[in-house]
Amino acid sequence: MASIPSRDPAQRRLPLLIAILFLSYLCVAIPLPAVPVYVTGQLGLDNAWAGLGTGMTFLTAILSRGPAGGLSDRRGAKAAVARGLVLYGVGGLVSLSAGLLQDRPVAAFLTLLAGRVLLGLGESFAGVGVVAWGIGIAGPQRTGKVLSLVGAAIYGALAVGGPIGLALLDRAGFASAMAVSAALPCLGLLAIWPLAGIAPHPQAARPSFVGVMGRIWLHGLIVCLQGIGFAAIGAFFALYFLSRMWDYAGLGLTAFGGGFVLMRVVFGHLPDRIGGLLVATGSLAVEAAGQFLVWSAHDPILALAGAFMTGLGCSMIFPSMGREVVHLVPPHLRGTALGGFTAFQDLAYGLTGPLVGFLADRAGYSSVFLVGGAAAGLGVVLSLYLRRARVAEMA
């Protein structure tokens, strides 16, 4: 009787890796809504500073995505993930100390910025490493699926971590919330320790980082425009609700994350099946509609519905564009290319906070979501341009 072949052991590593990412990313998710509330409510600073505190993590990640991708290519993805988790933990501890300086607002804010910088470095190395590791396990033909799973873990963590962060802030204080976020990466580090990594490419010839970026920058720009909507919700949705004295201020990220994860679970296969550009075009249109709904909402239920639609729209854009990027570069440059590609998303997350915070001080919180809708609409135009260019190349 013929034996039934066992499942490839390498394939069993992917779900475990995704679970580790979910657990560890809670250390990013928990502070995300808590930081602006802490900065404005307890330190007494204005919205622009709150936006800077939120966005500093992503601004830092922009500058470190290239080195993170290079480390992943040269020494292996596992080394990049391990370094990222260590930086996560240290960043959480520094942020914790900021919560102990509440009576000294300037010192507290500067300490918080230092913690957010370390958290950004951790996000860069861990994020790029997990993506490269997952593609190495599943193969480049399943890039869309891997990126969908990675995004589901990240935004699932945001959906869960946002309410946890606000609840901890309300009941136990900012320092306690940061203590929880600092402990989680330590669990992730223990979990990856026995996992086998993937082979690095230490000797392969490499073009400059700028040369790699020249191949993928339009795809990255689309992801940047997509990220503005999420950044607006992450940084200002709770403050928007509080300014209108609406209930459910902590559920913005939950609504966004619910739509995001639902789309990934049900339609995560679409980029690999029908192509990334087609999926991205439709997704950007849905995101724009969701942002405009939040902007125009006259009650909290409509605003939450808009956040849910924004999650539906944002969900498939990163894996769709990421699939296109992976197929534009050879295997030994995947980590570098994905690092540069992800930096465009970090750019959106990092700049949106302080820039639209400045706008919110002058035009109200609803204006933030108008900007998010306009950015997604521009993304639709760019994705249509890339689709037309692809058709022209094939003709």
Question: What pLDDT, on a 0 to 100 scale, did the predictor assign at position 5?
Answer: 43
CATH class name, domain 206-394 = mainly alpha
pLDDT digits (tens, 9 = 90+) for 227-268: 898 888 877 888 888 888 888 877 887 898 889 888 888 887
For the chain, the domains span: 11-195, 206-394
Q: How far is CA 326 from CA 66, 131, 135, 374, in A?
A: 15, 11, 9, 28
Q: What is the pLDDT of residue 204?
A: 57
- Dist CA 299 CA 308 (whole Å): 15
- For 296-340, what is each residue's pLDDT tens digit? 998 999 999 999 999 999 989 988 998 888 878 777 677 777 777
With a pLDDT cut of 70, the percent of the chain lying above it is 92
Tell me how far the alpha carbon of residue 243 is from its chain's centroid. Answer: 26
State the average pLDDT for the chain.
83
How far is residue 154's CA from residue 190's CA, in Å, rounded to a whole number? 19
What does the pLDDT average to over 112-121?
A: 91
Q: What is the dihedral of CA 194, 198, 199, 203, to 10 degrees?
A: -110
**Is CATH 1.20.1090.10 the classification given to domain 11-195?**
no
- DSSP assignment of 283-307: HHHHHHHHHHHHHH-SSHHHHHHHH
Lowest mean pLDDT among 306-320, 352-366, 371-385: 352-366
DSSP 8-state symbol, 40: I
Among 87-91, 236-240, 382-386, where is mean pLDDT lowest? 236-240
pTM of the model: 0.69
More confident position, 3 or 65:
65
DSSP 367: H
20-55: b (≥16 Cβ within 10 Å) or e: bbbbbbbbbbbbbbbbbbbbbebbebebbbbbbbbb
- For 144-170, what is the mean pLDDT? 81
Q: In 3-state terms, what secondary structure has residue 266?
A: helix
Under a CB-based contact definition with an 8 Å cutoff, are residues 73 and 334 in contact? yes
Q: pLDDT grade, residue 205 (50/70/90)?
A: low
